[in-house]
């Protein structure tokens, strides 16, 4: 990785996770309540909340990181996503990064790989802006 870029610390990553997790939860809850209206009034098939959460999480991270290379949590902590050379990540890297976040134990890989699974598989890192 480019030596001029400073990787963010664990505290920054936790703050990113808390801010973004809260926003994803709000989006998922909004979608779930919208669907629940149709379940009650139009007898649509009920769907478990966690499907809404997984969908909201994928869409949230994919769109923000594809368009801005950062999420609202990363804006708050002045950090961004880059590839291993310090450049903007490719479409494929962002897609892999967003899909691999859906693995529930993603953060546990930090102890074994030194980075979360979504960073390892996508060849990306979170650095200070």
Domain presence at residue 5: no
89 belongs to a structural domain: yes
Answer whether residue 1 is part of any domain.
no
Q: Do the domain assignments include residue 2?
A: no
Contact 52, 85 (CB under 8 A): no
Pairwise pLDDT comparison (102 vs 3), residue with the higher score = 102
Buried b / exposed e across 91-104, counting CB within 10 Å, b at 16+? eebbbbbbebbeee
Number of domains in the chain: 1
Range of the domain at 41: 10-128
* 49 has a pLDDT exceeding 70: yes
- pLDDT of the residue at 43: 95
Q: What pTM did the predictor assign?
A: 0.93
């Amino acid at each position: 990785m480019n030596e001029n870029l400073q990787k963010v610390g664990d505290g920054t990553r936790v703050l990113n996770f808390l801010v973004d997790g809260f926003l994803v939860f709000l989006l998922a809850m909004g979608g779930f309540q919208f669907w629940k209206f149709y379940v009650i009034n139009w007898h649509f098939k009920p769907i478990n909340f966690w499907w809404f959460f997984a969908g909201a999480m994928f869409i949230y991270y994919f769109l923000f990181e594809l368009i801005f290379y950062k999420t609202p949590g990363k804006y708050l902590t002045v950090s961004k996503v880059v590839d291993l050379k310090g450049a903007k990540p490719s479409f494929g890297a962002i897609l892999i990064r967003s899909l691999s976040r859906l693995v529930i134990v993603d953060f546990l890989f930090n102890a074994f790989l030194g980075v979360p699974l979504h960073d390892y598989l996508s060849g990306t890192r979170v650095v200070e802006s």
